[in-house]
Structure 1
C-alpha cells in the first residue's frame, strides 16, 4: 500500500514541479491569440472553458490503455509502477503537452502536418498514412472492447455484435457533428462515472489489503514462470496509454482548437496525462493485489494470465470481486466510458487528418459525411478480426508514433530557441522510446519474431534496438548542432485543411 500511495503522490507532485519546468521551456504566451479565438468555425474551432477542455482531453486519451494495458502490465509485478510514474512525468506528459501546444502554435494543425513541418515532407507523408492506420485501429479496439464489457452486463440478445453496431452509430455522430453538440455535452456525464470508477476501485483495493495485500515495490520479474516474458521491451509496449501513448498526439489537436489561452496548456495537456497515469496506477495495483496468490496455491499472477491479462473478463472480475454487484456495475460503466470517449474522437481525428491532408472544408456536412462513412465502415470490417491481434499491432504502432512525436518536439525546441539544451527535454525520452519501439519490432512474434531464436534472438533484439536509438540520436545531433543557422520554423509554413 505504501508504494501505491507514494507513486500517486509522486505523480501529483510531478505535475506541479516538472510540469512547470516543461511549461517554462515552451514559454506559452497569454497574449497570443489561439486558433479558437482567431478563426472559430462552429465545428472544430469552438472556444470552451478550461475545465471542460481538461475533461475532454482526459476522456479522449483515457481509453482502454490505462485499464487493459495497466492490468496486462501487472503481470510483471510492481516493477510496472516505476514505468507508469517515470513514463508519465518525463515522457508521456511531455509528449502530450508538446503535441497540443505545437498544434495551438500552428493554427490547430493535426499532428501529421506538424511532424512534416519540423521533420520534413517525407516524414509528413509517412505520418499521414501511419496516423490514419493507427486511428482506425484505435477506433476498432475502443469499439470492440466496450462492446464486450456491455455484453457482460446486459441480456443475452444484446451480444457483442449488437453493441458494436450501437457504438458505431454513436461514433458516426461524434465524428460529423460539431464538437460542442455531442462530445462536450456528454463528457461531463462520462467523466463522473470515470471518477467514481477510479475512486471506487482504489478505495476497495486499499480496504481489502488485509485479505488481498497490495504488494510493495520489487524489480523482480513476476510474470508467471511457465511462460515468462522479459520486462524489456514487452512491458514498455504493453503499458502504453498509462505511461506514454502516440495516440494522444492525435487527440490533442481536437482540444487545441478549443483553448482560449496558451497558459491553459499545462493544465489541459500535461495535467490530463498525469490524471491518466493515476488511473493506470489504480488498475495495476488493483490487479496485482486481486490476483496475486488469490487461491493460495503459490501460482502468483497465473490467475490473471489465465483470464488473458487485461480484458473485459479480468476487469469484470476485479470490479465485482472488490465492489460487489452494484458497485461493480457502477465501476464497469466508468470503464466502459473510457474507451467510448476515446474511440469517438479517434475517428474524428482520422477525419481531421484527411481534411488537413487534402485541404477540405470541415464546415460542409456532405464533405464530412463522405469521409466519415467510409472510415467507420472500414473500422467495422477490422472489428471482425481477432481482437488480441489488433491490440498487439495497435500497441507497437502506438509507441512508434510517440517516438516520432517526441523527436518532432525536440526538433522544434532545438531550432526555435537560442538555448539548444532545451531540446533534451524531449530528445532524451525520444531516444528511449526509439530503443523500446525498435527492440519490440525485432523481438515480437507479430513483427520480425526473433523470439523464436531463444536467448540469441533476445540479445539481437536488444542490440538492434539500442543501436537504432543511438543512430537516431546522432542524426538529431548532427542536424541540429552542425547546422546552427537552420530554422525549420522559418523554412516552412503550414496551411491546414480549412478555408479561412
Structure 2
C-alpha cells in the first residue's frame, strides 16, 4: 500500500517539478501565434481551450491502453509501479511534450514530417510507412475487441458490429474536429478518469492488500522484466502511438504555455490510471499467480469486468462495458484521423486534389486495411502493436534530442530516455516470439551492441553541434 501511495505522489511531483524544467529547456513564447489561428480552417485547425485539449489528448492516447497494458504488466509484480513512474516522468511525458510542441512550432506538422526535418529524409520515409502501419494496427485491434463484446451482449453479429464501428470511424475522420471529437471526447475522457478513481477508492476501502515494492520478478511464467515489461506497459509509461496523436491537438492550441498542461499533463494522468489498474490487478486476485489464472480464463476484458463489478457492483459493470466498448473505439478513430492527416501531407506534395475529395480518398485508403485486419485474431494484432509502438517512441525521442542539439539546449532530457528505449526495442525484437525468438542472452548481446552503435552516433552528433556552436561564437566575435 505504501508503495502505491508513494508512486502516486511521485507522479504528481513529476508534473509539478519536472514538466516545468522540460518547459524551460524547450523555451515557450506565448507571443507566437499558433497554427490554430494562422491556419484556421474549421476542420483540423480550430482553436480550443487547454482543458478541452487535455481531455481530448487523454482519450486519444489512452483508451484501454493504460488499463489492459497495466493489468498485463502487473503480472511482474510491484516492479511495474517503478516502470510506470520512471517511464511516465522521464520518458513518456518528455516524449509527448516534444511531439506536440514540435508540431506546434512547425505549423501543425505531422510526426513523419518532424522526423524528416531533424533525422533526415531516409528516416522520414521509413517512419511514414512504420507509423501508418502502427495506426492501422491500433485501429484494427481497438475495433475487434469492442465488436466481439457487442456481439455477445446484443443481437448484432460481429460483422454488423464491426461495420457500425467503422461507419463511425469514417464520420469522425472526415468531419471537422470540433463536431464530434471536440464535443464528446472531453466527456468520455472524464469518464475514463472517473472510472479509474472509483476503482482506486473502492480498492482502498476493500480488504484487498496492494503489495509493497519488491524488485523480485513475480511473473508466473518467469518471463524476464527486461525488456518485456517496457513493451507490455507502454500506455501509462511511454508509447510511440502518442506522438502520432499529439499533432491533432497541437493544431487546436491557443498558446504555447498550454502545451505543458495538455501533453505532459495528459501523460501523467494516464500514468495515474495505469498505476491504479496495475495495483487493482495485483491486489484483487491476491497476487500475480491469481491474476495470471484470471487473464488466462477471461483475458484483459474479463479481468477488468470482474474487478469493476466486484468492487463497484452494477455501476461498475456499466463502467466496464463503457470502457471496453467506447474507449478503444475513441482511440481507433483518432488513429485513422492522424493517418489521414499524414497521408494528406504526402499527397498534397505530389498531387493537387480538392480538399473534400482528398479527405474521402485518404480515409478509404487507411480504413479498408484496418477493417480487414479487425477480422483476424485480436491477440495476434496486439503482439505486433507492442513493438512497433516502442520503435516509433524511440524515433520520436531521438528527434527531440537532435532538435535540442541543433538549438544548443540541454539535450540529455531526450537523449537519455532515447538510449534506454533503443535498448528496449533492439533487445525485444530479437527475443520476442513475434520477432526473431532468439535465446535471451543472445538477444541481450545483440541489443547491447546495436544500442552502443546508436550511442556512438549520438556522441558524433554532440561533437558536431558543439563545433557548430563554437564556429557561430567565433563568427560573432569576428
Per the alignment, residue 126 of structure 2 pairs with 126
Question: For 2:382 and 2:2, how far apart are their aligned partners in 1?
Answer: 32
Q: 2-side partners of 1:241 and 1:22: how far apart?
A: 20
**Is the contact between residue 406 and residue 465 of structure 2 (CA under 8 Å) also seen in structure 1?**
no
- Indicate yes or no: 2:333 matched with 1:344: yes
Look up the match of 2:452.
470
Q: SS at 1:232's partner residue?
A: helix
> Which residue of structure 2 lines up, in the alignment, with residue 327 of structure 1?
316
Quote the Cα distance in structure 2 between the aligned partners of 1:94 and 1:324: 38
Kept in 2, the 8 Å contact 1:414–1:423? The answer is: yes
CA distances 1:141-193 after superposition (whole Å, capped 9, x unpaired): 111223334445x33x2344333222111111011010011100111331232
Deviation at 1:476, TM superposition (A): 1.5
Question: How much does 1:361 deviate?
Answer: 7.2
Q: TM-score, normalised by structure 2?
A: 0.94
Partner of 2:387: 396
Distance 2:420 2:353 in 1: 37
* Residue in structure 2 matched with residue 144 of structure 1 by the alignment: 144
Q: In the aligned structure 1, how far is the partner of 2:250 from the partner of 2:170?
A: 22
Distance of 1:93 and 1:149 partners within structure 2: 33
CA pair 264-126 structure 1, distance change in 2 beyond 3 A: same
Closer, same or farther in 2 for the Cα pair 1:331/1:411, shift >3 Å?
Answer: same
Distance in 2 of aligned mates of 1:458 and 1:436: 13
Q: Which residue of 2 aligns with 1:46?
A: 46
Shift of 1:376: 1.2
1:173 to 171, 174, 188: 171
State the Cα deviation string for residues 394-432 of structure 1 (Å, max 9, x = none): 000000100000000000000112x4xx11110000000
- Report the equivalent of 1:253: 247
SS of alignment partner, residue 262 of structure 1: coil
Q: Which whole-Å deviations, capped at 9, do the CAs of 1:51-76 have from their partners, x for residues lacking one? A: 11111111110122101100000111
Distance 2:347 2:462 in 1: 31
| Distance in 1, Cα, partners of 2:298 & 2:446 | 30
Aligned 1:268-283 pairs, distance under 5 A: 268-283=262-277
Match of 2:377 in 1: 386
Cα–Cα, structure 1 residues 150 and 5, in superposed 2: closer, same or farther, change >3 Å? farther
1:278/1:464 CA distance change after superposition, 3 Å: same
1:182 pairs with 2:170? no
Matched, 1:223 2:219: yes
The residue that corresponds to 2:418 in the other structure is: 430
- 1:102 deviates by 0.3
SS at match of 1:72: helix
Provide runs of 4+ in structure 1 moved above 6 Å. 360-363
Contact 2:193 / 2:273 at 8 angstroms: preserved in 1? Answer: no
**Residues 432-461 of structure 1: CA distance to partner in whole angstroms, max 9, x if unpaired?**
0000001000101111111xxxxxx11111
- 2:376 and 2:201 mapped to 1: Cα distance? 37
> 1:482, 1:365 → 2: CA distance?
45
- Aligned residues of 2:145 and 2:324 also touching (Cα < 8 A): no
RMSD across aligned positions (CA)? 1.8
Q: 1:448 to 1:187 in 2, by over 3 A?
A: same
Q: Structure 2: how far apart are the matches of 1:214 and 1:331?
A: 21
Q: 1 CA distance for matches of 2:29 and 2:342?
A: 26
Which structure 2 residue ranges, 5 or more long, are not aligned? 473-478
Q: What does residue 33 of structure 2 align with? A: 33
CA distance in 2, matches of 1:362, 1:343: 26
CA gap 1:160/1:192 in 2 versus in 1, 3 angstroms: farther
Q: Which is helix-richer, 1 or 2? A: 2
Is the Cα–Cα contact under 8 Å of residues 101 and 250 in structure 2 kept in the other structure?
Answer: yes
Structure 1 stretch displaced more, 58-67 or 140-149: 140-149
Shift of 1:342: 1.3
Distance 1:16 1:363 in 2: 45
TM-score, length of structure 1 as denominator length: 0.90
Residues 332 and 199 of structure 1, relative CA distance in 2, 3 Å threshold? farther
Q: How does 1:181-220 map onto structure 2 within 5 Å? A: 181-208=179-206, 210=207, 212-220=208-216
Is the contact made by 1:223 and 1:301 (CA closer than 8 Å) also made in structure 2? no
Does the 8 Å contact 2:402/2:411 carry over to 1? yes
Q: Among residues 440, 448, 473, which one is paired with 1:458 in the alignment?
A: 440
Instruction: Report the alpha carbon displacement of residue 313 of structure 1 after superposing the two structures with TM.
Output: 1.6
| Cα distance in 1 for residues equivalent to 2:326 and 2:97 | 23
CA 1:312 to 1:190, structure 2 compared with 1: closer, same or farther past 3 Å? same
Does residue 374 in structure 1 map to residue 368 in structure 2?
no
Question: Residue 114 in 1 paired to residue 96 in 2?
Answer: no
Separation in 2, partners of 1:363, 1:187:
29
C-alpha contact 2:304 2:320 (8 A) present in aligned 1: no
Task: Find the counterpart in structure 2 of residue 494 from structure 1.
Answer: none
**Structure 1: segments with no counterpart, 5+ residues:** 451-456, 491-500
